[in-house]
Amino acid sequence: MFVYQSSESLTFANQPVFFAVTDRFGGVSNKPFDTLNLAYHVNDDKTLVDINRKRVLQEISLCSQSRSPLASLYYLTQIHSNRSIVLDQMLAESLPHADSIHLGEADAIITALPQRLCMVMVADCNPILLYDTFHHILAVVHAGRLGVFEEIIPHTLEQMSALYHTQAKDILMYIGPSIRACCYEVGEDVKKEAFKKGFGAMINDTSRLDLIACLKQQYKQLGVADAQVEIDPRCSCCSPMLYSYRRESHTGRFALIAMLQQH
Ligand SMILES: [Zn+2]
């Protein structure tokens, strides 16, 4: 069910934050979504996705050692933007109780509330966790090529700073499995766009774009050091246990799910 989780991370050791990255096993979806697809928007059977999400909720309740069972999974309609939604007390109270709670159209969720499981779904895009260790604030981010080019990480950090006084020096970051330069060949339009955005050096001589290198350039410019960042070694397109849009086109989504723990 999980390809990786915070209990295995040295970067996040002893931090009061939980995260897990799902794989494609342990669910009930049929081909081509077999089996733990967590997304509704890919035309999978909604009742099966609901069962998958419920199973993930139960498993996280167990392995995060939560005192009470976790009630809900907060998720977005992801639109490849640089927009974030802040899950604060007022918003949380305005939403109906459910296993899955839709927050709206955006590509990042920021929260200071503990015990709220926030999810971003991917199949090659970068699932990213930002954690402010000083103010105990979390963000989960969906950053594909468009999101990276539209600077979703700088925008999310800016939002965290504006609302909660987050500083780059206090950030820990986890970049989950995503398509890597080994598999991400891009066309002329994307190449042109990359040069325009200052990422020309991140395209190699076989037209492969290295989005991790783009992200590194961005977080360093923000004042986040390599030592504050954990980069998952997995390429989603090379890993059959993960969904990959590039490899399969019509497929499901795996997820990065994270929450603040009480401390
Ligand atoms: Zn690869």
Q: What is the pLDDT of residues 135-183, one digit of tens each?
A: 999 999 999 999 999 999 999 999 999 999 999 999 999 999 999 999 9
C-alpha 124 to ligand 1 mean position (Å): 10
Taking the centre of ligand 1 as the mean of its atom positions, its distance from the CA of residue 33, in whole angstroms, is 20
- Centre of ligand 1 from the C-alpha of residue 59, in Å: 29
* Distance separating alpha carbons of residues 203 and 214, to the nearest angstrom: 10
In our burial notation (b when 16+ CB lie closer than 10 A, e otherwise), range 30-39 reads eeebbbbbbb
Ligand 1 mean position, distance from CA 241 (Å): 13
Q: How confident is the model at residue 5 (pLDDT cuts 50, 70, 90)?
A: very high
> What number of other Cβ atoms are within 10 A of residue 136's Cβ?
18
> What is the C-alpha separation between 8 and 6, in angstroms, rounded?
5
Please report the pLDDT score of residue 200 as a whole number: 93
CA of 112 to the centre of ligand 1 (A): 35
- Give the tokens for residue 250: 């019509």
pLDDT digits (tens, 9 = 90+) for 217-232: 999 999 999 999 999 9
Q: What are phi and psi of 190, to 5 degrees?
A: -65, -40
Q: What is the pLDDT of residue 69?
A: 74
Please state, in angstroms and as integers, the Cα–Cα distance from residue 143 to each residue in 7, 60, 64, 92, 164, following that order.
24, 24, 25, 24, 22
Cis peptide before 32 (omega within 30 of 0): yes
Ligand 1 centre distance from Cα of residue 44 (Å): 25
Token pair in block for residue 107: 């590509």
CA of 183 to the centre of ligand 1 (A): 4
> Which tokens hold the place of 161?
């700073």
Ligand 1 centroid – CA 223 distance (Å): 29
- Mean of the pLDDT values across residues 230-252? 98
C-beta separation of 6 from 19 below 8 A: yes
For the stretch 91-123, pLDDT in tens is: 999 999 899 999 999 999 999 999 999 999 999
Sheet holding 2-5, edge to edge: 2-5, 17-22, 254-260, 117-122, 73-77, 100-105
Predicted confidence (pLDDT) per residue in 25-81, tens digit:
999 999 999 999 999 999 999 999 999 999 999 999 988 877 777 779 999 999 999
Handedness of CA 101, 103, 104, 105 (dihedral sign): negative
Domains of the chain: 2-260 (3.60.140.10)
CA–chain centroid gap for 114, Å, is 18
Q: How far is the CA of 235 from the centre of ligand 1 (A)?
A: 5
b/e string for 155-189 if b means 16 or more Cβ within 10 A?
bbbebbbeebebebebbbbbbbbbbbbeebebeee
Tell me how far apart the alpha carbons of residues 136 and 261 are, in angstroms, rounded to a whole number: 9
**Cα–ligand 1 centroid distance for 237 (angstroms):** 5
* pLDDT value at residue 31: 97
Ligand 1 centroid–CA 123 distance in Å is 12
Ligand 1 centroid to residue 203 C-alpha, Å: 15
Ligand 1 centroid, distance to 202 Cα (angstroms): 16
